[in-house]
Structure 1
Amino acid sequence: MENSNALILLRKELHQHPEVSGEEIHTAKRVLSFLENYPPDEVITEIGKTGLIAIYKGKKTGKTVLFRCELDALPIEETNVFGHRSLNNGVSHKCGHDGHMAILCGLAAELYHNKPESGTVILLFQPAEEDGSGAQKVLLDTKFASIQPDYVFALHNLPGFPMHQIVVKNETFSCAVNSIIIKLKGKTSHAGEPGKGINPALAIAAIISEFNTIIQSDITKENYCLITAIYTKMGSKAYGVSAGAGEIHFTVRSDSNSQMRRIELTLENLAQSIAKKHKLTCKTSWTQGFQANENDKTAVTFIKKAATINGFDLLEKDKPFTWGEDFGLFTQHYPGAMFGLGAGINTAALHNPDYDFPDEIITTGVSVFHQISKQITNAH
């Protein structure tokens, strides 16, 4: 396997220079300069604006498999003080995308040294996963039109799970997530004569309490639905004025894409009817939507076999993860699967300011991805 020290150095370098969603220009350049040591047969740059694709072709025609990682970091100030801490204020790799990139670069090295026998292996370094826009940007890019994968795969590191453990699940792996913005418009008036205006306060209160009745927060039961109030704003700090407008935002989670569509409609209708009752106009919109990752059974079988061949501990999870991941858009278009890679029981949680990707699991990820690619491209 590619010298793991080189992959660790790359990972730490990526960690030091994080970039937020849609701005990963230097991150993509760093990855590209690493790949120049293991030249792909074809490179596509600026896919989905800042993304990158490396293609390794087999000697004969055959199946095409795509592996995807993410380029972006989060707008979180790092609290770690180690040598490779983030040099960009207020931005850091708190989801481990630096590690995911290192894994895909390690896979590139393996594919360069051991060409697939047949078919094609595509490595996608995808931008803007964190805000839910990147997968769509890549899929809509005309440069992606020529790529028709038979299977798509991705992994995510999992703090709280034993290091090197491979976590698999058939059907929904990660939840559908969408965020609703509800804007209410009434009429301002004197605070001493609120009856002469239309204040949105009671409507906001009613929306919060009505939405609350729809929550079913136990993911082990059917109709899982989590609704979290995120932000609200009403009126202004002018104490003689009764507020005439307000807005409220929620994130919504469900364990299937079809169930999510139903919930979205229910919430929109509820907000509209409450607004109408309080004589307010209401505008609803959605932002940062993530499709549920719905894993294909055959793809999951490839992962299980790859883990077993490599002697890694395998966990079959019975319930989905509650976070969203925009790879779900790929699994809607192509058969594929996302799996988890244990990052250690005591590793800080994802999105925490003290999180850091554990370098020990880079080669684990490379081994599983490479073994999957061998199964699909008949390489031995």
Structure 2
Amino acid sequence: MLTNSDLVELTSFRRELHKRPELSGEERETARAIAGALRALNPGKILTGLGGHGVAAVFDSGVEGPTVLFRAELDALPIQEISDHPWKSEIDGKGHLCGHDGHMTMLLALGRLLQRQPVARGRVVLMFQPAEEDGSGARAVVADPAYEEIRADWAFAIHIEPGRPFGYVSTKEGLINCASKGLEIRLTGKTAHAADPEDGVSPAQAVARLIPALAGLGQGGRLDDDFRLVTITHVQVGEPSFGVAPGEAVIFATLRTAHDAAMDGIDRDARALARAAAQEAGLTVSFDVCDAFAASINHPEATEVAIAAMDAIGVDNGSYGLPMRASEDFGVFGWGAKAAMLCLGPGEDYAALHNPDYDFPDDLIPVGASIFERIARDLLGRA
């Protein structure tokens, strides 16, 4: 059980993390702070530099058994925080506005509990993942050769999700978060004087046709296996000039599907539309992919374990608000493990994630830690 002293120290640590947010792929100082806090807990091993700046602590019982991984995220967002808190971000244009500072602190709280009473068998891995916000971190961690040393049999994560009562957890078997991909389409022709547009090759008409055609590939609706959604998030045609007919255009389209396998199909369809529009207009076309997230799919057994743990310690839970269209970079851990994502409520009227005035509620630290600990004990016992 966490003591009052634990909670004071953990809250202070969380607020220090909050002051110094780092973006995806830049989490050097955050990783260093986490590694330092972990060393004080004397785990059997600490791995650093996983998939970039990832950090993992291994609490090994020394007795054969499964490996249970609990994940938190290191990175923050490129958003200017608006807050009167003494611990508000000290870095302009960056903020921990998605709860990752709190998620990290919950794992450190779990580490304290494991230090005091080790598990009876198997291993617990506390995984602090880099680059969650752009969808690149989990793949990089799992692809890192060092990950083989800690490859998990079970994987669990908690993400704060506003709109739910304080301490309520949403989870269920199956789809939790959609797969998504950012597809950049670049159309290139030739500029001309605005008085003589026929001297150039403009992408404007191709863009005008492409926008509704791309959106028509997936219009959302019910979140079942056939769910597809294309959202046009950015369009630029030429430069802001009245004297130049455009020669280049860029379209950002976010593709969403309920399952990873369906993503290839909608991506292929979107590229085919862009190639056809480019050919018809005498343009060249190129593509780039950003922010590619795997779907988060809860394994039936992992979900059952998590729900049983929450029921045992009196944490109210259900499936409210699930599945979600939003994506989360946890699904990759479920490719090789029985995995479950849990969505923890901070209060029904709490600020939304990615809002400039968002801040993690510190009173959730012991709630998350207690859920994780009970899962660990149920799977691995007490020494």
| Short-chain TM bin | over 0.9
Name the CA distance, whole Å, in 2 between partners of 1:170 and 1:288.
25
Farther off after superposition, 60-69 or 31-40: 31-40
Shift of 1:335: 2.0
Q: Match of 2:257?
A: 254
Q: Does structure 2 retain, via aligned residues, the 8 Å contact 1:216–1:223? A: no
Runs (5+) with no aligned partner, structure 1: none
Runs (5+) with no aligned partner, structure 2: none
Name the CA distance, whole Å, in 2 between partners of 1:49 and 1:269.
34
Q: Match of 1:304?
A: 307
Secondary structure class of the residue paired with 2:282: coil
Shift of 1:149: 1.1
Name the CA distance, whole Å, in 2 between partners of 1:221 and 1:307.
27
Q: Match of 1:99?
A: 102
Name the CA distance, whole Å, in 2 between partners of 1:270 and 1:172.
29
Please point out which of 13, 18, 34 is paired with 1:15: 18
Percent identical pairs in the alignment equals 37
Shift of 1:379: 2.7
Amino acid at match of 1:194: P
Q: Match of 2:93?
A: 90
Q: Does structure 2 retain, via aligned residues, the 8 Å contact 1:159–1:346? A: yes
Residue 140 in 1 paired to residue 104 in 2? no
Shift of 1:109: 0.5
Q: Match of 2:382?
A: 379
Q: Would the alpha carbon gap of residues 220 and 46 (structure 1) be closer, same or farther in structure 2, given more than 3 Å must change?
A: closer
Name the CA distance, whole Å, in 1 between partners of 2:73 and 2:131.
7
Name the CA distance, whole Å, in 2 between partners of 1:35 and 1:299.
26
Amino acid at match of 2:277: I
Shift of 1:318: 7.0
Farther off after superposition, 233-242 or 43-52: 233-242
Superposed counterparts of 1:175-194, under 5 Å: 175-194=178-197
Farther off after superposition, 239-248 or 98-107: 239-248
Shift of 1:309: 0.5
Q: Does structure 2 retain, via aligned residues, the 8 Å contact 1:219–1:319? A: no
Q: Does structure 1 retain, via aligned residues, the 8 Å contact 2:171–2:303? A: yes
Name the CA distance, whole Å, in 1 between partners of 2:134 and 2:82.
22
Residue 285 in 1 paired to residue 288 in 2? yes
Superposed counterparts of 1:164-175, under 5 Å: 164-175=167-178
- Work out the number of aligned pairs and report it: 380
Amino acid at match of 2:253: F
Name the CA distance, whole Å, in 2 between partners of 1:358 and 1:319.
22
Spell out, residue by residue over 1:9-64, the C-alpha distance to the aligned partner (whole angstroms, 9 max, x if none).
11111111111111111112222222233110111112222111100011411111
Name the CA distance, whole Å, in 1 between partners of 2:121 and 2:336.
23
Amino acid at match of 2:217: I
Farther off after superposition, 28-37 or 157-166: 28-37
Secondary structure class of the residue paired with 2:378: helix
Q: CA RMSD in A?
A: 1.5
Q: Does structure 1 retain, via aligned residues, the 8 Å contact 2:170–2:321? A: no
TM value normalised by structure 2: 0.95
Shift of 1:192: 2.5
Q: Match of 2:115?
A: 112
Amino acid at match of 2:159: H
